[in-house]
Amino acid sequence: MAHCTTNFKTKKAFKEAVKAGKEVGATEPIFPCVQNGTVFISGPWEYHKWHAQCQIQDGVITSVK
């Protein structure tokens, strides 16, 4: 499961940042991360309390479900 490049504590904060147009990327600790298409994100980094399905284009998350 991938993580955001920023350690958002809540899914709400993550969704608001993406909606506001901030460039949020995704990273995966072991494998190369998807650069275009669908990616599944979990956060925060330490606890994985929330999960989201996201669309990513050119390495930047464009929408969150």
| Long-range contacts formed by 55-60: CB under 8 A, 24+ apart | 56/25, 56/26, 59/25, 59/26, 59/35, 60/23, 60/24, 60/25
Span 8-29, mean pLDDT?
95
pTM listed for this prediction? 0.90
d(CA 53, CA 10): 14
Q: Determine the Cα angle at 24 with ends 28 and 7, to 5°.
A: 65
pLDDT range class, residue 61, cuts 50, 70, 90: very high
pLDDT range class, residue 1, cuts 50, 70, 90: confident
pLDDT digits 0-9 by tens, 19-60 = 999 999 999 988 899 999 999 999 999 999 999 999 999 999
